[in-house]
Amino acid sequence: MTTESPRWFKSSYSGNGGQCIEVATNLAAAHDMVPVRDSKNTDGAVLNFTADTWSSFIEFAAAQRV
């Protein structure tokens, strides 16, 4: 793990429905890691994805918006 702190953010499309995630993309370039967490439970589990895996997920999700 790195000593650099994640800078968490939610999508600008997020409402207040409580079904949001937070992502910290600031670690992608230097550490090939994109942490993701539940915005309702910020002290809970964090899933770490490689930058390539996260990019693939975003591309897939964007293609589903029809």
The two structure tokens encoding residue 52? 């390539």
Q: Mean pLDDT over all residues of the chain? A: 89
pTM: 0.81
Burial of 59 (0-12, 13-18, 19+ CB in 10 A): exposed
Q: How far apart are CA 40 and CA 42, in angstroms?
A: 6
Q: Each residue of 13-31: pLDDT tens digit?
A: 777 767 789 999 999 999 9
Residue 57 one-letter amino acid:
F
pLDDT at 22: 94
Phi and psi (nearest 5°) for 47? -95, 130
Return all residues near 5 (Cβ < 8 A) that are at least 6 apart. Answer: none
